[in-house]
């Protein structure tokens, strides 16, 4: 591909496309060229923004084919997870902003209804697309929005319970609906599980042209040139012990496997199913994650997510780290604990690298379980492990733990089973935005009877909390920590168990106390520095526990200060609310304590850097300083008393 003067690839066909309707004017040959140019444009864009690369590259041809054949936005194309939607964004009127992906005020890295009519359903979490598409299909049948519904779902996402719940329902309802199973034999890590093996079996026994699973009238949905091969394959199937495919048994017409990078197969196939289908159809497309960009194809994660990079070499420009990440500290601390306690086991739901459990697995492969994208199962599986006498650490991102909440309540908490929840990505995470914010876990974990809930204020504390969780055998326990680097604090040789329900005073002062839960502590200390320059020296304490609360510490702080401020990286209803409840129960407010809670605002905060997001949330050091001045009734420079801006 040639380049224009701006060092971007020349894209003569893509330049003619503003909206998907423009694809209708292209010949099939031009569509092939469009796919090449779209791939180059995607690579170029992600090289300057960073983001999810491999999944998008794997669906370039599918994106072109779907937009060439279907009529978005009337037809609803629903991308599962949404991390593969950058090529779709380029073809749907957002090319001019594609180099703002995941930046503050820029395009979202996922599909988002408020961003475009071509994103009929927002995503970020996996395995929702078939349910949503079925909802659109049934709405259409009932006189709602017209148009077809097409779900594009990966092999990883297909392993989740939700996807099967939707297939089960769709097969039963029997209405026209399209599911494209984009099978690239990858999740973020290589996929695990029996379903993955099954999908591989479906296409490992013959060339793509021999469409094998063609029962129940699906041959009629194929373009004529493919029908003969399909009939032959059907004959071949008869001689095998394989019955219909799983999908056929569930009520879908299964067509596949097709080469998801071959527009000569995809275009006629999609045109034919669009013209003829009357019920649910599943097209099994085989693709390669990272397709067409060697550094991505060759990477272990097939270029799943990348920092900015040099297109020619693939070299990523990662910022130099000054401290270990919280994730790696967790992984090392857990591995250390496990080396001395062979009942410790670890569970991840398709995020071995993201949670650091890949390191644990290297050392203890038999004691580490990647259960696939299946958070609900991960929680109950951990409960079963605990009931069976093991010490499970269930390591999930805060945002994905949401999906397993009933299991936390019903299977873990009510049975008082000692499952250890390692809650990574707590608080605001940055470029992934609102769908991935770890905003709610404090509230939804700490309201459960018998649950212990901790938050690490730095990486040394995290090591202690891993040790605390390992030692805590009498019921469930959770500890949360954020994405990214620690503070650089000196690490203890080994974590030591903390006393359950005891916080610590970090700095003693007067008049006002700030009680921090989690890693805002460093911002609190920065605010304290600034306040000291003005003659105000707050007491600062690290709560460590949201449950059980350190009643002694909190009541002492309340008694010894005019004002108390709590701060946490979570939504309202969490730590601060529990402290308020305690103060109210103890009648502390009757004696005039001024009390403030600093929590995430009651809104979904859009993607930006974590620092910018915390500024937007009013939780930076400057905001803390202002809140202290405000609660003490001290005017800031340039402001009148009472907090009014001059």
Ligand X SMILES: CC(=O)[C@@H](O)[C@H](O)COP(=O)(O)O
Ligand Y SMILES: Cc1ncc(C[n+]2csc(CCOP(=O)(O)OP(=O)(O)O)c2C)c(N)n1
Q: Per CB under 6 A, does 432 bind ligand X?
A: yes
Give the nearest distance from C-beta 81 to ligand X in angstroms.
5
List the one residue from 133, 222, 350, 541 that touches ligand Y (CB under 6 A). 350
Q: Which of 474, 545, 452 is nearest to 503 (CA)?
A: 545
Cβ atoms of 254 and 212 closer than 8 Å: no
Give the nearest distance from C-beta 173 to ligand Y in angstroms.
24
Q: Residues 324-363: x/- map of binding to ligand X (CB under 6 A)?
A: ------------------------------x---------
- Partner touching 476 among ligand X, Mg ion, ligand Y, none, CB below 5 to 8 Å by kind: none
Q: How far apart, in whole angstroms, are the C-alpha atoms of residue 381 and residue 395? A: 12
- Partner touching 420 among ligand Y, Mg ion, ligand X, none, CB below 5 to 8 Å by kind: none
Q: Per CB under 6 A, does 126 bind ligand Y?
A: yes
Site size with ligand X, rule: CB under 6 A: 10
List the one residue from 329, 373, 423, 600 that touches ligand Y (CB under 6 A). 373
Q: What is the 3-state secondary structure (H, E, C) of 217-239?
A: CHHHHCCHHHHHHHHHHHHHHHC
Cβ atoms of 515 and 467 closer than 8 Å: no
Q: How far apart, in whole angstroms, are the C-alpha atoms of residue 533 and residue 523? A: 16
Active site residues: 289, 375, 403
Q: Per CB under 6 A, does 122 bind ligand Y?
A: no
Cβ atoms of 179 and 153 closer than 8 Å: yes
Question: Judged by CB under 6 A, which stretch of 36-44, 80-88, 201-209, 558-566 contacts ligand Y?
Answer: 80-88
Is the sign of the CA dihedral 52, 55, 60, 62 positive or negative?
negative
**What one-character DSSP code corresponds to residue 574?**
S
List the one residue from 483, 544, 547, 607 that touches ligand X (CB under 6 A). 483
Cβ atoms of 497 and 540 closer than 8 Å: no
Give the nearest distance from C-beta 349 to Mg ion in angstroms.
15
Q: Which is nearer to ligand X, 154 or 251 (CB)?
A: 154
Q: Which of 150, 138, 370 is nearest to 266 (CA)?
A: 150
Question: Judged by CB under 6 A, which stretch of 163-171, 275-283, 414-422, 424-432 contacts ligand X?
Answer: 424-432
Give the nearest distance from C-beta 438 to ligand X in angstroms.
10
Q: Per CB under 5 A, does 184 bind Mg ion?
A: yes
The contacts of residue 194 (CB under 8 Å, 6+ apart) are none
Q: Which is nearer to ligand Y, 126 or 325 (CB)?
A: 126
List the one residue from 17, 81, 431, 629 that touches ligand Y (CB under 6 A). 81
Residues 74-133 that bind ligand X (CB under 6 A): 81, 83
Give the nearest distance from C-beta 80 to Mg ion in angstroms.
10
Cβ atoms of 554 and 583 closer than 8 Å: yes
Residues 37-76 that bind ligand Y (CB under 6 A): 55, 58
| Alpha helices by DSSP H, 432-503 | 441-446, 459-471
Q: Per CB under 5 A, does 186 bind Mg ion?
A: yes
Give the tokens for residue 421: 């929840």
The binding site comprises 83, 124-126, 155-157, 184, 293, 375
- Please report, in angstroms and rounded to a whole number, the separation of the first and last CA atoms in the chain: 58
Peptide bond into 113 cis (omega under 30): no
Measured CA to CA in angstroms, residue 604 lies from 119, 178, 360 at distances of 18, 31, 34
Q: φ, ψ for residue 564 (rounded to 5)?
A: -130, 130
List residues binding ligand Y (CB under 6 A).
55, 58, 81, 83-84, 125-126, 154-157, 184, 186-188, 289, 350-351, 373, 375, 400, 403
List residues binding ligand X (CB under 6 A).
52, 81, 83, 188, 305, 354, 425, 429, 432, 483
């Amino acid at each position: 591909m040639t380049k224009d003067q701006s060092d971007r690839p020349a894209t003569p066909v893509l330049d003619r496309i503003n909206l998907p309707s423009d694809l209708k004017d292209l010949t099939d040959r031009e569509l092939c060229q469009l796919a090449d140019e779209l791939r180059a444009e995607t690579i170029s864009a992600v090289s300057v923004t960073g983001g999810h690369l491999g999944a998008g590259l794997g669906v370039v041809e599918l994106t072109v084919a779907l937009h060439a054949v279907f009529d978005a936005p009337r037809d609803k194309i629903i991308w599962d997870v949404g991390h593969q939607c950058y090529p779709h964004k380029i073809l749907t009127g957002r090319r001019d902003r594609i180099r703002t992906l995941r930046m503050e005020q820029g395009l979202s890295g996922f599909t988002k209804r408020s961003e475009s009519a071509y994103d009929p359903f927002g995503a970020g979490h996996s395995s929702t697309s078939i349910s949503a598409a079925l909802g659109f299909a049934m709405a259409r049948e009932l006189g709602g929005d017209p148009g077809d519904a097409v779900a594009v779902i990966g092999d990883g996402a297909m392993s989740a319970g939700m996807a099967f719940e939707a297939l089960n329902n769709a097969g039963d309802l029997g209405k026209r609906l399209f599911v494209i199973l984009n099978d690239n034999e990858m999740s973020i890590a290589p996929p695990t599980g029996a379903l993955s093996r099954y999908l591989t079996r479906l296409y490992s026994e013959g060339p793509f042209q021999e469409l094998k699973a063609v029962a129940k009238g699906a041959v009629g949905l194929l373009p004529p040139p493919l029908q003969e091969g399909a009939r032959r394959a059907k004959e071949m199937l008869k001689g095998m012990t394989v019955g219909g495919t799983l999908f056929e048994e569930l009520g879908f017409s299964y067509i596949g496997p097709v080469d998801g990078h071959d527009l000569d197969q995809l275009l006629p196939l999609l045109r034919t199913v669009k013209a003829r289908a009357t019920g649910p159809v599943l097209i099994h497309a085989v693709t390669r994650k990272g397709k067409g960009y060697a550094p991505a194809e060759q990477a272990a994660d097939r270029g799943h997510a990348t920092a900015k990079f040099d297109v020619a070499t693939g070299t990523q420009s990662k910022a130099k780290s000054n401290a270990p990440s919280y994730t790696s500290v967790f992984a090392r601390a857990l591995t250390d604990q496990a080396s001395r306690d062979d009942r410790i086991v670890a569970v991840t739901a398709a995020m071995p690298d993201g949670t650091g459990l890949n390191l644990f697995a290297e050392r203890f492969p038999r004691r580490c379980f990647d259960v696939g994208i299946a958070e609900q199962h991960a929680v109950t599986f951990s409960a079963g492990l605990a009931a069976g006498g093991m010490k499970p650490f269930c390591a999930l991102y805060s945002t994905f733990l949401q999906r397993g909440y009933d299991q936390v309540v019903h299977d873990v908490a009510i049975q008082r089973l000692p499952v250890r929840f390692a809650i990574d990505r707590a608080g605001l995470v940055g470029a992934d935005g609102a769908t991935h914010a770890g905003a709610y876990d404090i509230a939804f974990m700490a309201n459960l009877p018998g649950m212990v809930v901790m938050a690490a204020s730095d990486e040394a504390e995290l090591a202690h909390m891993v040790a605390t969780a390992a030692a805590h055998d009498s019921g469930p326990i959770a500890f949360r920590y954020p994405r990214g680097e620690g503070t650089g604090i000196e690490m203890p040789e080994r974590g030591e168990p903390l006393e359950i329900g005891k916080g610590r005073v970090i700095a003693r002062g007067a008049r006002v106390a700030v009680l921090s839960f989690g890693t805002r502590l460093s911002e609190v200390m920065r605010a304290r520095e600034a306040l000291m320059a003005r003659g105000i020296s707050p007491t600062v304490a690290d709560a460590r526990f949201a449950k059980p609360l350190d009643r002694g510490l909190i009541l002492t702080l309340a008694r010894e200060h005019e004002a108390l401020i709590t701060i946490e990286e979570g939504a309202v209803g969490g730590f601060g609310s529990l402290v308020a409840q305690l103060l109210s129960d103890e009648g502390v407010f009757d004696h005039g304590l001024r009390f403030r809670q600093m929590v995430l605002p009651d809104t979904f905060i859009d993607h930006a850097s974590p620092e910018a997001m915390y500024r937007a949330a009013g939780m930076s050091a400057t905001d803390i300083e202002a809140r202290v001045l405000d609660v003490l009734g001290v005017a800031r420079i340039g402001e009148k008393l009472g907090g009014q801006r001059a």
